[in-house]
Chain A
């Protein structure tokens, strides 16, 4: 299966290179794998490659961590207080439906044009889904186990720490997976709106000066980084959730 997947990838890259070299595609518009590789090498030689990667990675990881932590905490508070839950649930649903990019101009005015604005955008895009996913995980806990805990005289704190949190671990890992993808969307979108560095900046800049090699190179690096971060979360899930589940 892995071999088939690799073969498809190599074949597609090969075709792309072939069409670009034989003039079927105009490499000025479509770039080509060799030109992408050369651009990455140039960026590395100029010493800016890792700077741009570092900036985007920092924004993404920071935004992701804040969104997950805040989302988890808010979900816990909403689980603890049922009336708060029924009051705030419609707000959360509406906020989830809102395309957060619409808030771009507001964020720039509130946060300025620095990294803070981009991290804020990343948090904004991921946090609502984190809240909804975790709350759904908390509420889905087996009713029989809840009854068992209550029959033992457990209060809300004990039910939370001994049952709800461990039982919702798969939901947490799932939330991490979704949040990783959203955090990348958030940081790149933030960089599109306001930035002086980062992979999103390279893409926008490359587009403006018509250097499609640069756009493709930054996109390719983004693909590798996002895939790597997702794989890291998936690996953590396997290690943490493991076989100790029904």
Chain B
């Protein structure tokens, strides 16, 4: 078990009053699994990731984090324009005080393996949107997290780039054998990428459906091409009440 939510609720306080963002949420992400949480916009998905990352404590229930490091990937790449690609990739090492030669070499090896070798000395502004998102992923992987928390990391990309980056990120995460928890509002993205899809209600977020994705050869492309894709899409649509 890499991550488990047990009856987790979260209420935040604003001057306007209390808002319940998450209610009685229970699910589990096992080691090496790619799990997607899918729900309507504003249903509290990002709150769930903040809970998973331990940035905020639950109001009720328990978040069990099975040890190891967590890496966070956000809606925008959030690359620092005053740092080169290489310096951006080293950022988590500097912050986590793991900026050793070995860790840096490891990060550079990852960058080279995934096609960033010629871009290391460039600044983020010189890269395309898809390439920037890849740098963001390598930056997340640089600190060698066991579990990746992905907060709609493709939502800022145009559709075609998004398809390509989706496949790209999925392949990298799988080949590095990382556990991943993705939140998204895109049904087809969730089915294509995940081993398991969990549908959430509108706020306060609660689980309304859970499905293992077993068809295709595991790649997003094969899943999108599979006949079962449409059936699962419709099931999820029904659960989300769209």
Contact = CB atoms under 8 A, between A and B. Distances in A.
A148 B78 contact: yes
B75 A144 contact: yes
Contacts of A246: 81, 125
A147 B74 contact: yes
Given A144-B76, A152-B92, A158-B95, A244 B82 contact: yes
A169 B95 contact: no
A40 B214 CA distance: 89
B5 interface: no
Interface residues of A, number: 21
Contacts, number: 52
Interface of A: 142, 144-145, 147-154, 158, 162-163, 166-167, 169, 243-246
B26 interface: no
Contact of B91 (A147, A152, A243, A245): A152
A149 B81 contact: no
B143 A152 contact: yes
Contacts of B75: 144
Given A148-B72, A151-B72, A158-B95, A245 B81 contact: yes
7 contacts: A145-B80, A149-B95, A152-B143, A158-B95, A166-B80, A245-B82, A246-B81
A162 B91 CA distance: 9
Interface residues of B, number: 20
B101 interface: no
B81 A162 contact: no
Contact of B78 (A142, A162, A245): A142
A153 B115 CA distance: 28
A245 B123 CA distance: 9
Given A169-B82, A244-B81, A152 B72 contact: yes
A156 B96 CA distance: 13
A153 B69 CA distance: 11
B231 interface: no
A131 B81 CA distance: 25
Contacts of B82: 166-167, 169, 244-245
Contacts of B53: 151
Contact of A154 (B70, B78, B95, B123): B95
A150 B53 CA distance: 10
Contact of A162 (B70, B76, B94): B94
Contacts of A148: 72, 74, 78
